[in-house]
Chain A
């Protein structure tokens, strides 16, 4: 009872609420308007570990990578002004991929707001379209409730980022602290009508196809999807975000569909008569700008977000709700189906090619070689050609083991995300596939990885160009523009300058030697492998 009348400062309330929300790790960067929170974090460092990055963007991506790996809310902290605006790309990345995140920013004291004070920025205004919700705390009595709400909003329903902007005077002010507990919001049960019309269409299918999106990964519903696939005898494909929903060697898993997908996966999706889309939003990259890849099929959509129904394509049936209960209910209703002809057609489509057996480095050979060392580890990518090659080729295992910026396509996502993923796994080794373009964007986070002894293996697919840009330019204009990277960066020396290690490799045997060093269990430092590949490699598969 004493507790109720105890006066706490804003900073104390913030850290206390974080602990209450089971936050054990935060990522961030201090600055003038957030000093009080940092001082409080220092006092509570045995409860919450703070990871200092090299740049706020890296901190945001790290919180994102932490959240994608654990399913918990990732927390990032930054100061006002540039600290806050440096978070923007990271918050947008999390928003487009529905990742739960709470971003806490300091701001100038309330009486200084609106005067163009030093490092003043209206970050709530800026992040309005890229957060599920955001707050400016103007009254310390609301601080605790707002933070509790922020966590609840970030993780309920379709997950996403929430920003809480806290002016400096609110961090300093004291108030009588009364703990708040928010009413638990239960997702409504799936509707009987929706379930029965979805089940009827699925049972009527002759050529069913299951299309997994990121929602399956967030819901942890991979096992149920596999059960459904077996029960209705349907092949499965995945969007980039849904790739780690089902492990690559599940017999019915065809892998990535869409613009950069496996032609056999996309072709079978195209020839399906019923597509069961689970936690997928039919983006232009996955199914064509106007759903061309799925236009001949009846679509049964399962999603937690009602706004996804009929947004990008027209559904024949849909079920709104948490994916797990919906799939459980559907599995109870649907009688087992057999489609031997359809499975035979799918199986006869040209499957993935074997890589040639010579010493020349190609993207697929690099991925195959890395995969031999990295079974069971988290795989992170940056954005560009290497991302598509990894999505196409890497033998992805288990849920939450493949982290990539799918929606926003953020080059520079990888370093921060890989650090976050590794921290989430207690400092375990993770593998980052990146390109010479993407790596160039946030390579300063090597400093972070070194100081926290994070043994990342960083594979740079170095084609001395912005490969994806170049690929599109050649396809659209027949010429290139500003996509060649005629840089002289020595990534091995660079790694060493940061206190890490690295090697440049030009052949498969050199790569193998480098991988042995990189994956040495005694090695606790990041290891950069700069792989020379041909600039003319493309992501179009045949």
Chain B
């Protein structure tokens, strides 16, 4: 059974660390759905958020193989029910006098934001769960997508815990 899952990976902020992680996925034949990386509250560490798809055995292998990398400090499998998961998208849509109103209605319903506006185009910024972003794309696709980009997922555990302070499992 293949499932999507989200991993929070705390890594040393070192040369090549992102490549070590991605190269491990490539060489072991694991697929990455999305990957984001950025600094954390402690500059010594970066945090990589990976979404991947696979069965339980693959998931276990990914976690264990990542744990073997010298620069990987901690890994957390982030269950959707206890995790805040967000993604950001910018999408540029064709908008004519006729369709603009309909698109703006959708922008309201989906609670996104118009960030650029020309006579024949609307650029929209949207944050949310990936599924919500998917739903929005499905809805607006018939109007004509000029271009779009998505950041991939970032995720934090709900509550007061943190990956840096948590003991090793």
Contacts and interface: CB of A to CB of B under 8 A. Distances in A.
A307 B64 contact: yes
B32 to A, nearest CB: 16
Interface in A296-340: 305-307, 309-311, 314
Interface stretch (B19-27, B84-92, B118-126): B19-27
A129 interface: yes
A125 interface: yes
B162 to A, nearest CB: 24
Contacts of A311: 61
Contact of A129 (B15, B23, B61, B71): B23
Contact of B16 (A128, A307, A310, A314): A128
Interface in A49-93: none
A136 B61 CA distance: 28
B166 interface: no
A310 B61 CA distance: 8
Given A129-B27, A305-B68, A310 B60 contact: yes
B70 A132 contact: yes
Nearest to A309: B64
Interface in B50-90: 57, 60-61, 64-65, 67-71
Given A153-B70, A306-B64, A307-B64, A124 B16 contact: yes
Interface in B1-57: 15-16, 19-20, 23-24, 27, 57
Interface in A116-151: 124-125, 128-129, 132-133, 136, 138
B65 A307 contact: yes
A311 B67 CA distance: 14
A306 B15 CA distance: 26
B70 A133 contact: yes
A128 B23 contact: yes
Determine the main DSSP class of A at the interface with B.
mixed
Interface residues of B, number: 17
A132 B15 CA distance: 15
B134 to A, nearest CB: 33
A125 B16 contact: yes
Nearest to A307: B64
A239 to B, nearest CB: 21
A128 B19 contact: yes
A125 B71 CA distance: 15
Interface string A503-518: 0000000000000000
B19 A125 contact: yes
Nearest to A132: B70
Contacts of B67: 306-307
A307 B16 CA distance: 22
A125 B144 CA distance: 42
Contacts of B71: 133
A309 B27 CA distance: 19
Most chain B C-beta atoms within 10 Å of own C-beta, residue among A125, A305, A307, A309: A307
Interface in A17-69: none
A28 to B, nearest CB: 24
A307 B19 contact: no
Interface in B124-168: none
Contacts of A133: 69-71
A307 B61 CA distance: 6
Contacts of A138: 15
Contacts of A136: 15
Contacts of A128: 16, 19-20, 23
Contacts of B27: 129
A19 to B, nearest CB: 24
Interface string A153-182: 100000000000000000000000000000
Contacts of A153: 70
Nearest to A308: B64
Question: Max chain A CB contacts within 10 Å: which of B19, B69, B70?
Answer: B70
Given A129-B27, A136-B15, A307 B20 contact: no
Nearest to B71: A133
B29 to A, nearest CB: 12
A132 B20 CA distance: 10
10 contacts: A128-B19, A129-B24, A133-B69, A133-B70, A133-B71, A138-B15, A307-B64, A307-B65, A310-B61, A311-B61
Interface of A: 124-125, 128-129, 132-133, 136, 138, 153, 305-307, 309-311, 314
What are the nearest 8 A-B pairs in CB distance? Answer: A307-B64, A133-B70, A129-B27, A307-B65, A306-B64, A128-B23, A129-B23, A307-B68
Given A309-B64, A310-B61, 10 more contacts: A124-B16, A128-B19, A128-B20, A129-B23, A129-B27, A306-B67, A307-B61, A310-B57, A310-B60, A311-B61
